[in-house]
Amino acid sequence: MKQDKTSPLETLTEIRQLMERSSRFISLSGLSGVFAGLYALAGAYAAYRYLGLEGLGYYSGQRVVSSFRGADTLGFLMADAAIVLVLAIGTGIFLTTRKAKQDGNSIFDATAKKLIINLAIPLIAGGIFCIALNFHGAFIFVAPAMLIFYGLALVHASKYTRNDIRTLGFAEVLLGLIASFVVGYGLLFWVLGFGVLHIVYGTYMYFKYEK
Amino acid sequence: MKKILVDFNKAFESRVRLGIMSILMVNDEADFNTLKDLLNLSDGNLASHIKALEELKYVTVNKQFIGRKPNTNYSASKEGKKAFNAHLKSLENLIKSQTH
């Protein structure tokens, strides 16, 4: 029997690496999580200031199911959220491309495509659901719904990237579920979920994989 | 020693073929260019190894068109998966026999 040059253990390690590299997108930069969290905090602060002026209870524990204050408020909040989203995704793409180049991986390969598609399915469903909530004036459930759908998207997509994302997903879902009972503190939970958790997790991922 | 090597599959002596099967075990399918990038191979080299696996019926080929461009997808057959798992088992046994 001809013996391969490499030891069986090396061969097994190689197989494992190849399996992981071919099915998971691992160039996701931890720093992009940190930046997403910072943008979220800035966006939430802007919303806090604005809602404070309008006297709207979205962080005071007021159980106002329908508190529509005109198209102005809704327009401001949607523009605010859109800016946060665009900045977070933009920075994420920039940092991830840079990291992929450093690692010698291609940025838009089959694993990246799978990750994006699987992340997008629950997110788009959640986004449309949130529009429906706004449409019916159920504003207090928008923050919990965003957290729950985002968390489920992360749990779902974790199969296609670093497994650590799964835990972050569970944390977001848990936070969203708590927020759906403790209504009236939407902005606070939003800050915890999209701001604080992202910064903590991004930092953790950065030091685990990039340092 | 002889007994341990019973399941040692000759087809997987090549690291390229083992690599192709590793990728197809965890992905439902993979196209030619994906395999090429992951394994860092030339077109000809990859094609000849895939051909060998195809002849063993370890790999099934699915040709289709995306628009006008031909696109070939490969996936591991039932037999191929069975053979790969048996090969892994024999590698593990080999390691166990060395450490004990």
Q: How does residue A5 score in pLDDT terms, banded at 50, 70 and 90?
A: low
Overall average pLDDT of the B89-93 stretch: 86
End-to-end CA gap in chain A = 44
Question: Would the pLDDT of A43 be above 80?
Answer: yes
Q: Chain B residues with CB inside 8 Å of A10's CB?
A: none
Q: What percent of chain A has pLDDT over 70?
A: 88
| Residue A111 near residue A25 (C-beta atoms within 8 A) | yes
Highest mean pLDDT (candidates A8-12, A51-55, A98-102, A196-200) = A196-200
Predicted confidence (pLDDT) per residue in A19-38, tens digit: 988 888 888 888 999 999 99
Q: How far is B35 from chain A (nearest CA, A)?
A: 9
Residue in chain A nearest B17 by alpha carbon: A15
- CA A104/CA A73 separation, integer angstroms: 46
Whether A9 sits inside 8 A of B34 (CB atoms) is: no
**pTM score:** 0.78
Q: What domains, with CATH codes, occur in chain B?
A: 6-93 (1.10.10.10)
DSSP secondary structure letter of residue A193: I
Instruction: State the pLDDT confidence band at A65, using cuts at 50, 70 and 90.
Output: very low
- Mean of all residue pLDDT scores within chain A: 85
Q: Rounded to a whole number, what is the distance in Å from the CA of A22 to chain B's nearest CA?
A: 6
Q: What is the pLDDT of residue A193?
A: 95
pLDDT tens column, B10-64 = 778 888 999 999 999 998 889 898 899 889 889 999 999 999 999 999 999 988 8
- To the nearest whole angstrom, how far is the Cα of A70 from the nearest Cα of chain B? 48
Q: Which of A121, A117, A115, A84 is nearest to A100 (CA)?
A: A115
Alpha-carbon radius of gyration of chain B: 15
Q: What is the H or E stretch that residue B99 is in?
A: helix B78-99
Chain A to chain B Cβ contacts (< 8 Å): 52
Q: For residue A56, is it left (φ>0), alpha (ψ between -120 and 50) or beta?
A: beta
Residues written for chain A? 211
Task: Say which residues have a Cβ less than 8 Å from residue A1's Cβ, sequence separation at least 6.
Answer: B5, B8
Helix (H, G, I), strand (E, B) or coil at A108: coil
> Cα A126 from chain centroid?
12
Q: B-chain residues within 8 Å CB-CB of A4?
A: 13, 15
Give B38 or A198, the one with higher predicted confidence.
A198
Burial B56-93 (b: 16+ CB within 10 A, else e): bebbbeeeeeeeeeeeebbebbeebeebbeebbebbeb
- Residue-level pLDDT at A41: 95
- The sign one gets for the Cα dihedral A67, A68, A73, A74 is positive
